[in-house]
Each structure stands twice: as structure tokens, then as C-alpha cells.
Amino acid sequence: MSALRRWVPSHLKSSTTFEVLSACLWRCRTIALEPKPDEVVHFISVVNARPKINPPLPKGYYGNVLAYPAALCTADELIRNPVGYAIELIKRAKAEVTDEYMRSLADLLVIKGRPRVIVTLYSFQVSDASRVGLDQIDYGWGLPVYGGNARKVTGFASFYIAGKNNEGERGIVLPISLPATAMDRFVKELRWMLGEFSEHPNNGSGSSVLFPSSL
């Protein structure tokens, strides 16, 4: 995260890990998929709306209270602008989830029913489950080998899941699904953002990708 935060402008230094990580991954993923410049790309975040409800939900209420706000722009805007641009889009989308927003959403679902979700290859949805604590549950047999989502990761949706490396360091695991050729470009782009390359891996390859502004 310290490597990725090098790309964050000073006025956004207080951005959360979710916002910085999501902005970087959204940008890397879009570059890897090579959409047309005018293609609209989406980042969809799953927001816990419990704190937004007024009056508060009854104590002991059990169930999901979620919203799915989306940040969107053209591929050209996302790729050619610095990472701060993507962070601001994600912040703005999350801020839209208010009590009024949730009441309007509930009315819409009652009036029109649950809408069919239409996504494209250029839609990227992330749910942050890294602090749910599933990896810490002990039913008497010790800590689990894995604690996270059982749902298969699709091409457009993924999760942030708590995990540990071989040295026992805790971190965030992100399963992601991309076509093989796009995955190769994604890995190179992410490794460059992490500072593993002295120059961009696409430099001299004829790629139209522009690099984020360094700070």
C-alpha cells in the first residue's frame, strides 16, 4: 500500500485503503483489457448502508443493508488521468449512499421489482470482506485454512479477503478473473505501479497507454 500511495496526490492522502487499492486496480484492469477510448467503464462498490439509515435499524436486525453505487467514465479519461482522478470518482460514488438514497432505492424495488443487473467486460465490482473476520472463526478445531467467499469469482466481480503470506504477514487477497492475454498485461501494469520496473513495461511497444503523473 505504501508503494501504491506514491501515486496519490496530497489533497487525497487521507483516502482509505479501499479507495486507493480500488482506484489502482480499476485502472490496471482497464489498461489490461484495452477498451476503445470512448468505451464507458464502471467501478461498482458494495457499500454497507447500515450507518446511513435514520432512524437506526432495530437492535438485533439481521440481514444485508447494501447499496451498489457506481463510478463511471470513459476508458480514455481513466487511463490518461492520474490515479487521483479514479480515487475521486470512487469517493463521489460512495458519498451518494445516504438515508434518502436508500429510501429511494427501496421504493424503486417495491415499484419495479429487483432490476436485472447488466454488466459488461468493462464493469468491475468489488466487495470489501477483508474485515468480516471469517478467517478468525474457531469452532473448536482451530483457525480455518481459508475464510472468505464461497462464490465463484466472475469476470466482473471480486472481493477483498483477509489473508496471510508464508511469513505470516496479514494482508488483503484479491481474486481476479481476466482473459489470459489481459491478465499478463494486468500483472505487468500492477508490478510497475508497485515500483518493480524502472520504466513502464509497455514503453516502446507501440501501446497507446499513458503513464500516471508521478508526484
107-120 pLDDT per residue, tens:
999 999 887 877 88
The pLDDT value recorded for residue 152 is 63
The pLDDT value recorded for residue 154 is 67
The pLDDT value recorded for residue 89 is 98
The pLDDT value recorded for residue 182 is 94
The pLDDT value recorded for residue 34 is 96
Taking the C-alpha atoms of residue 197 and residue 183, their distance in angstroms, rounded to an integer, is: 17
Q: What angle do CA 188, 190, 195 make, to 5 degrees?
A: 95
> What's the whole-model pTM score?
0.85
**Can you name the CATH fold of 4-193?**
Chloramphenicol Acetyltransferase (3.30.559)
Taking the C-alpha atoms of residue 96 and residue 89, their distance in angstroms, rounded to an integer, is: 11
**Which residues of the chain, if any, have pLDDT below 50?**
204-215
The pLDDT value recorded for residue 158 is 87
The pLDDT value recorded for residue 207 is 37
Cα 84 to the center of its chain, rounded Å = 14
The pLDDT value recorded for residue 194 is 93
Task: Give the residue from 118, 123, 193 showing the smallest Cα distance to 158.
Answer: 123
Cell of 48: 454497507
Angle separating helix axes 180-193 and 17-33, nearest 10 degrees:
130
